Structure 1
Amino acid sequence: MENPKSWTKYADFYRASYSAFPQEHKDSPGRLPFHMITMDLGDHEFTDPAVPEAVVSLPLSAQEGNSWAWDFGDGWHRDSAKPGRVLVLPPDNSSRWEVRGQRKVLVLTIPSKTVKQILGPSVPAHLGEALIPLADKTLEDPLIQPLMLRLWQSLGGAHTTDRLLVDGALVTLVSHLIQRAGCVQKAPKYVALPPWRLRRVREYVEAHLHEEVDIVTLSDVAGLSVRHFSRAFREEIGETPHKWLMTRRTEKAMELMTDANMGLAQIAELCGFAGQSHFTKVFKQVTGHTPKRWYNERKRS
């Protein structure tokens, strides 16, 4: 099936184009955005779009004789769909698919921006090309399967430790995929923002999260000029200081919403937002949901 629409998220394409197949979706509750899907698949022939996400597909169960064939523009690759053998789809590559047989799959989609957050300046210049070696055939890997299963199980949790666990597991998974693809680069000689400077910034923010914190203050805490700090922070963390600060405020708000009996206005004040409307706007930008919807979904899970 051809689908000419431009997609930025693989999950949206799944919902629209694979709607005939039962599926369940989950978003990451942690600092590193990613998405997961479970789906019961049958025979189909689709053309998947190029999206800025790496996709890892893991069959959980499959009928005898299952097979899939895929083409990234360099010719068809064919393999059996065996439980535990993963297939990696590099970002920014469209693909054609011929799938035969019934199976249940677990899918992980990792935005390229998330890979940049994890790898920092060590990220390959062309991530889609760097991961192509993993797309020639399915992989039997003793590490990937348990990590993906643990990620899926932890996505339903609302505790702070669940968010820490999924972030840590994703860092391990991405690092492992980069190594398996053979695109590990030498560590840069220059560290843009040394750990001790970054630690001072984090500690200051945690102690003053309820206050107004600006880029000048953070630069002073780090002992750098505003220009140097802004550039170094983005190079090291993968996002601007302001966006990182808004994410941290949101994470703190999520903790309070989960563990404390407070109204949204009080939570907004304690987390340093300008007001409840500002809190709601930023919360939706970070999580994709309003605070009320996020809380209700966590409560149901």
Structure 2
Amino acid sequence: MEKVAYGQHLLKALHAGEAQTMVTRPVLQKSEIAVTEVRRDIPENDYTSAVPQESAFLITLNMRDWPKRILWIDDKPVQALPLGAGSSNIFDLRKKYIGYGVSSFHMMSFYVPRGVLAHIAEIDEARDIDEFAHDPCSGIDDPVIRDLGLALYPAFRRPEEANMLFVDHVTTAIAAHVLRTYNPRADRPAATAGELAKWQEARVKDVIAAHLDGNVTIAQLALECGIPLSIFSDAFTSSVGMPPHKWLLERRLEKAMEMMRQTKMSIAQIAMKCGFAGERHLVRVFSRVVGNSPHAWRSARLS
């Protein structure tokens, strides 16, 4: 199996103790972005293995302070500065990275292949990227990466229940953001979001409603509207009053309610039909949003 810089391959390279990964295919199902939570709570005082080299970038968000780093890039020692919690880094994986584990760390790592960035640039009619204007030896304080990463972080507690349209929204937004912000070849300001036209809103809602399993991407929805990928989610939110993943969740709950009223299917069967990971997932979400369990809600309406 080809080594890629996420999941267990990243865990092994960094000699980390824990890793959780979520993978999405954000650009017309052609390639994938992966986000991995990696942590090591006890310093090892040992060299890491080389992070797998490939045509991709790692965008990292540090979840805690990283007071001391020792790093080699392409077998040359470099001065790696301390990193604060909430700071970010961008690593070009064409280069070879080896570290020395003198500090514990905890980070979210977004694996973004160059092909994904090329497709985003094509959709947004922007310039493709060769390298980012960022030195990985020092961190960057980027509130967009930080806020998006922190919004996604709770999903790692139950990754099997994660709303994949939300995961896709966050990972695509981070990729599009770094492409616009750190691309030294960028030659025009980013487009700004307005509202969707009525036909665009109706079309997107139809597509989302037809994919209650969440097997649709932000890129596909933007393509249906013919608007830039980088502004689609903001335009949808401005038009509908909520982001696409929340509108999807509301449709799932509406469908579940309809099936509880009109069929004799079990709650477990309804959960699977409506795109939930299972009965427990439906019960947890339904109870939080509606204020009652599906069983109690159904009984009250059938009595």
Task: Give the % identical residues.
Answer: 8
Q: Provide the alpha-carbon RMSD of the alignment.
A: 5.0
Q: Paired residue for 1:184? A: 186
Q: Paired residue for 2:111? A: 110
Q: Residue by residue, what CA displacement relative to the aligned partner does 1:131-151 show, whole Å, maximum 9, x if unpaired?
A: 2x3245322314133432332
Which of residues 12, 15, 23 is equivalent to 2:18?
Answer: 23
- Using the alignment, how far apart are the partners of 1:136 and 1:68 within structure 2? 12
Change (3 A) 1:186 1:47: same
Q: Does 1:13 align with 2:9?
A: yes
TM-score normalised by L of structure 1: 0.54
Change (3 A) 1:37 1:258: farther
Change (3 A) 1:237 1:70: farther
Change (3 A) 1:205 1:185: same
Q: Residue by residue, what CA displacement relative to the aligned partner does 1:12-62 show, whole Å, maximum 9, x if unpaired?
A: 3124444x4311314268968532213115432321222454212344345
**Counterpart amino acid of residue 152 in structure 1:** Y
More strand by share: 1
Q: Paired residue for 1:141? A: 141
Check the 8 A contact 1:134/1:181 in 2, yes or no.
no
What does 1:140-179 correspond to in 2, within 5 Å?
A: 140-143=140-143, 144-156=145-157, 166-178=167-179, 179=181
Deviation at 1:209, TM superposition (A): 6.2
Gap runs ≥5 in structure 2: 28-32, 213-222, 230-244, 258-265, 286-303
Instruction: Report the 3-state secondary structure (helix = DSSP H, G, I; strand = E; otherwise coil) of the residue aligned with 1:137.
Output: coil
Deviation at 1:106, TM superposition (A): 0.7
Q: Paired residue for 2:47? A: 44
- Using the alignment, how far apart are the partners of 1:235 and 1:12 within structure 2? 37
Q: How many residues align?
A: 232
Q: Paired residue for 1:34? A: 34
- Using the alignment, how far apart are the partners of 1:98 and 1:161 within structure 2? 32
- Using the alignment, how far apart are the partners of 2:3 and 2:25 within structure 1? 24
**Counterpart amino acid of residue 59 in structure 2:** V
What does 1:268-287 correspond to in 2, within 5 Å?
A: none
Change (3 A) 1:86 1:199: same
Q: Paired residue for 2:207? A: 205
